[in-house]
Structure 1
Amino acid sequence: MALATPSSSSLVSFCPLRTHSAGPSLCFASLRLPSRRNSRDVEASWSGGAHRLSSTAGAAERWRLGVSFFTSLNSKKRGNPEEIKEELLEAIAPLDRGAEATEEDRERIDQIAQKLEAVNSVKEPFKSGLLDGKWELIYTTSRSILATKRPKILRPNGKIYQSINCDTLRAQNMETWPFFNQVTANLVPLNARRVAVKFDTFKILGLIPIKAPGRARGELEITYVDEEIRVSRGDRGNLFILTMVDRSYRVPT
């Protein structure tokens, strides 16, 4: 999603959004005793049957242990979400929201984000209630948001927020110091994780409203979300990582 001022090139593709011109069962066998056998034969038959049943039970137990073992291995292979989040936040911390990231840094963070996406348990984020509120952008690969081509003093140096309200299908991006630009948008669900975004109003310095052009639109996919962190990917391939700061915030309608 984008933040912009008409007098500069600070169109912030915050989602990022492309500006368009114009998916063993167990088998038990019964034991039949022959009709003509002496007691020893009968006893031997039952003893042998019990041994075979014991062997079958042992095999079943070994099978269960094997399943448990491989399930445990698979769980460890996928990773613990809390450990992955800690790894991700530590990797992001020194990178100034991504402005100081090297290509190697970006590849590493994308790999960690993919690990987190792989353990995502929220299949329908827009129905989960977890998206609602104000999120702080802590990392992105979007150069337009980071304004890396400008001198550092002319970049957005304060916090950057994105807010979503799923009940009204509204979203808002907000820069703080030094520009305080804002933009609001309508969301149109495309599937359980992706929405189309159509911007409606920019606010320059947070005060001067300007109607967004019709081409100001794009898409956003939520690839991981929980109570604390959100990972999103835009239709231009950029990665966005945000943390929750205010669950009660409402986007202006």
Structure 2
Amino acid sequence: MASVLRSPLPLSHHASTSAASFPTAPHILRNSPALHRRSCDFKNQVVCQSSSGEVTFIEPPKSAPSKDDFDASLKIKLLSAVSGLNRGLAASEDDLRKANEAAKELEAAAGPVDLCAGMDKLQGRWRLIYSSAFSSRTLGGSRPGPPTGRLLPITLGQVFQRIDVFSKDFDNIVELELGAPWPLPPAEVTATLAHKFELIGSSGIKITFEKTTVKATGNLSQLPALDIPRIPDALRPQSNTGRGEFEVTYLDSDTRVTRGDRGELRVFVIA
């Protein structure tokens, strides 16, 4: 609310008062009969409004934030909503709702993504910080996959997407820790699911699976990588076609939001 300073002196006294009486704005009042309901703005610091009985000083309202500032605040809101959820593995129904609402606000404010004009923004290595499908407690997300927790001794590490807009390579990179019987230490591996991608419309992406490469890390890093070729389509289960589609709903230089063909919300930051 704007602050207001009122003077109880008669108008005629204000009109003849010397400039020294007003240290805030020394020249706002002049000996002129045109003072009645007159307003003036000095360097956007103070507004003077005069009427028949008093002079009112009103601080001007602060300027509205720019669109970039507004979008940045909504992005921070989304990142705050998904932080601490272990990429979605620890998300409750309330967490899922809050993340989805924050993403919708950001998507609406930023407007549609045009990858035809900004394909270069996809380039790079992106780290997954949230997937709504991980709340299902499976590593396959909304698709069939090994469960997390105590059923299998698998611990999910970091998940990345590596995108090359020139070669059309689209790799999902997953770090895993595989339990082993005592006294053997757990095995650390990195699985790279190689895909090719193509643009659909202005913001859609279609990926086609090619192969999986598994490479041991840590104490077993000297072992060679193992390539697992793609299963022929005739032998592939109907639930796993090796293809997927998603829409990029928000994209800037360091943050990407996508929505998958099965309703999965994902949030990435540049790695």
Q: TM-score over 0.5 for the alignment? A: yes
Query: Taking structure 1 as reference, are residues 222 and 125 closer, same or farther at Cα in structure 2, changes over 3 Å only?
Result: same
How much does 1:189 deviate? 1.8
Q: Aligned equivalents of 1:136 and 1:156: distance in 2? A: 17
The one of 180, 202, 205 aligned to 1:192: 202
Q: Aligned equivalents of 1:170 and 1:126: distance in 2? A: 17
Which residue of structure 2 lines up, in the alignment, with residue 132 of structure 1?
123
5 Å matches for 1:1-253?
A: 80-121=70-111, 123-125=113-115, 127-128=117-118, 129-143=120-134, 144-145=138-139, 149-151=147-149, 154-178=153-177, 179-205=189-215, 207-213=225-231, 214=233, 215-245=241-271
Query: Taking structure 1 as reference, are residues 156 and 194 closer, same or farther at Cα in structure 2, changes over 3 Å only?
Result: farther
Which residue of structure 1 lines up, in the alignment, with residue 15 of structure 2?
none
- Which protein is richer in helix relative to its size? 1
Q: Aligned equivalents of 1:219 and 1:123: distance in 2? A: 16
Q: Aligned equivalents of 1:148 and 1:185: distance in 2? A: 20
* Contact 2:113/2:251 (8 A) holds in 1: no
Q: Deviations for 1:83-104, whole angstroms, at most 9, x for unmatched residues?
A: 1111111121121111111111
Work out the percentage of aligned pairs sharing the same amino acid. Answer: 25
Q: Aligned equivalents of 1:241 and 1:156: distance in 2? A: 21
Q: Aligned equivalents of 1:148 and 1:210: distance in 2? A: 17
Q: Aligned equivalents of 1:120 and 1:200: distance in 2? A: 34
Query: Taking structure 1 as reference, are residues 194 and 158 closer, same or farther at Cα in structure 2, changes over 3 Å only?
Result: same
* Contact 2:195/2:209 (8 A) holds in 1: yes
- The residue type equivalent to 2:268 in the other structure is L
How much does 1:148 deviate? 8.6
Q: Based on CA coordinates, which of the two structures has the bigger radius of gyration?
A: 2
Query: Runs of 5+ in structure 1 lacking a partner?
Result: 1-71, 246-253
The secondary structure found in structure 2 opposite 1:101 is coil
Which is bigger in relative contact order (C-alpha 8 A, separation at least 6)? 1
How much does 1:157 deviate? 3.1
The secondary structure found in structure 2 opposite 1:104 is helix
Which residue of structure 1 lines up, in the alignment, with residue 219 of structure 2?
none
> How many residue pairs get matched?
173
Q: Aligned equivalents of 2:196 and 2:213: distance in 1? A: 15
Query: Taking structure 1 as reference, are residues 109 and 98 closer, same or farther at Cα in structure 2, changes over 3 Å only?
Result: same
Q: Aligned equivalents of 1:119 and 1:156: distance in 2? A: 37
Q: Deviations for 1:132-187, whole angstroms, at most 9, x for unmatched residues?
A: 00000000012343679422683443211001122222100111242311111111
- The residue type equivalent to 1:191 in the other structure is G
Two-structure CA RMSD over aligned residues (Å): 2.7
Length-normalised TM-score, structure 2: 0.57
Q: Deviations for 1:195-247, whole angstroms, at most 9, x for unmatched residues?
A: 211010111236211112342111121110001110011111111100001xx
- Which protein is richer in strand relative to its size? 2
* Contact 1:125/1:225 (8 A) holds in 2: no
How much does 1:124 deviate? 1.5
How much does 1:126 deviate? 5.1
How much does 1:119 deviate? 2.2
- Pick which of 174-183 and 130-139 moved more: 174-183
Q: Aligned equivalents of 2:71 and 2:154: distance in 1? A: 33
The secondary structure found in structure 1 opposite 2:110 is coil
Q: Aligned equivalents of 1:139 and 1:241: distance in 2? A: 5
Q: Aligned equivalents of 1:160 and 1:172: distance in 2? A: 11
Q: Aligned equivalents of 2:146 and 2:265: distance in 1? A: 16
Query: Runs of 5+ in structure 2 lacking a partner?
Result: 1-63, 178-188, 217-224, 234-240
Query: Taking structure 1 as reference, are residues 177 and 160 closer, same or farther at Cα in structure 2, changes over 3 Å only?
Result: same
